[in-house]
Amino acid sequence: MAKADRQAMTTLSFNPPVRTLMGPGPSDVHPRILGALSRPTIGHLDPAFVGMMEETKALLQYAFQTRNELTMPVSAPGSAGMETCFVNLVEPGEKVIVCQNGVFGGRMKENVERCGATPIMVEDAWGRAVDPQKVEDALKANPDARVVAFVHAETSTGAQSDAETLVQIAHRHDCLTIVDAVTSLGGTPVKVDEWEIDAIYSGTQKCLSCTPGISPVSFNEQAQEKIRNRDHKVQSWFLDLNLVMGYWGSSQQRTYHHTAPVNALYGLHEALVMLQEEGVENAWARHRKNHVALKAGLEAMGLSFIVPESERLPQLNAVSIPEGIDDATVRRRLLDEFNLEIGAGLGALAGKVWRIGLMGHSSRAENILLCIAALETVLGDMGAPIQTGVALAAAEKSLQS
């Protein structure tokens, strides 16, 4: 590159706008967590860092409600957490039951195929929970299946499935389970030990209010046994838990595998300390209460949810876009006029729904009021068929109850 090119280039420091994040994640990050990110970097083998790693593992066990030894953060986003579960637990040639009721079940299918295994798809409508009967039927039809994988909280639709029941069915058919809890962890009950989940992965940027980039995972003894006794090497060196555990496993003999994302882990540690301070049951209750208030406001305005009430995630609210209203215009105006981000529909739901997140630090009364007020303003201005002047009062009433 010529010197002239360099001189012509004068990129300045990036100063992001201050947004309110009510999409499907990242959610608002608490200032304490942002502050933690900028603490001085230390070595990934420093004794002080090793102590923090041990605390992080214990805090993650609390978040996941598990005593699983193999509970740790993968050094990459939730998609890599998903891949960690599949490449370690699935062997070439195996059959895997994959439940699909949104985008992320489709990603699981991709993972299974890339492991050289065969996905047996169990399909449900987008916006509905996984139907346990269909899983039972698939297992009966495929007695050689080895793994059942499903999404606990479908980020693309806001539907929650009954993880406990699905795991019971899988176990009755001698299958291990892989559970996607990216959007549920910290927002709605996730009880790894009580529900006997074998392998689970999550993300940091949803109900844990942390920045994106890390994926907490947990594996029980049955899952570990399969990993230790694989016929084929795990196809990913970076995600091979047999190797990763040399670094994360025991604080006594920690060996270098890869360089941990030190400062990102400061952030996760702080987020988990905050979850512990609040109490995970209180966090679940807060997400529930705030969802009810947002729902009161949105429904008073005339918007309708796409997921039946009993299957709805409190932290991710998918509502239909009113007839004749352009999705992108509304989202752009919310962003430009109010610095408010809400989520678009994904895949089959693109252009048809908005996804309004109330996750982690975003799950607050002030965000609910802002969202309702801003939506009402923009939709009203665009002539949408909504009810005006009643939504805020409905939400406030719910918040005060």
- Nearest distance in Å: CB 212, a second copy: 4
Query: Applying CB under 8 A, what is the total number of residues that bind a second copy?
Result: 92
β 118-123/70-74 pair status = unpaired
Strands (E), 116-210: 118-123, 145-151, 153-154, 159-160, 176-180, 199-201
Closest to a second copy by CB, 82 vs 130, is 82
Radius of gyration of the chain (CA): 22
Among 166, 181, 227, 264, binds a second copy (CB under 8 A): 264
Closest to a second copy by CB, 78 vs 300, is 78
Among 142, 230, 246, 273, binds a second copy (CB under 8 A): 273
Helices marked H in 207-279: 221-228, 241-248, 262-278
Which of positions 31-70 make contact with a second copy (CB under 8 A)?
A: 32, 34-44, 46-49, 52, 55, 58-59, 61-62, 65-67
- Nearest distance in Å: CB 170, a second copy: 22
Among 4, 15, 143, 324, binds a second copy (CB under 8 A): 15
Among 292, 335, 382, 390, binds a second copy (CB under 8 A): 335
- The 170-209 site mask, x for binding a second copy (CB under 8 A), equals -----------------------x---------x-x----
Q: How far apart are CA 43 and CA 273, in angstroms?
A: 22
Closest to a second copy by CB, 42 vs 392, is 42
Which of positions 224-243 make contact with a second copy (CB under 8 A)?
A: 233-238
Q: How far apart are CA 106 and CA 101, in angstroms?
A: 8
Q: How far apart are CA 154 and CA 162, in angstroms?
A: 12
Closest to a second copy by CB, 335 vs 392, is 335
Q: Is 110 a residue that touches a second copy (CB under 8 A)?
A: yes
- Nearest distance in Å: CB 190, a second copy: 12
Q: How far apart are CA 82 and CA 105, in angstroms?
A: 11
Q: How far apart are CA 90 and CA 112, in angstroms?
A: 7
Query: Cβ–Cβ contacts within 10 Å for residue 187, how many?
Result: 30
> b/e string for 303-316 if b means 16 or more Cβ within 10 A?
bebbbeeebbbbbb
- Nearest distance in Å: CB 143, a second copy: 28
Q: Is 4 a residue that touches a second copy (CB under 8 A)?
A: no
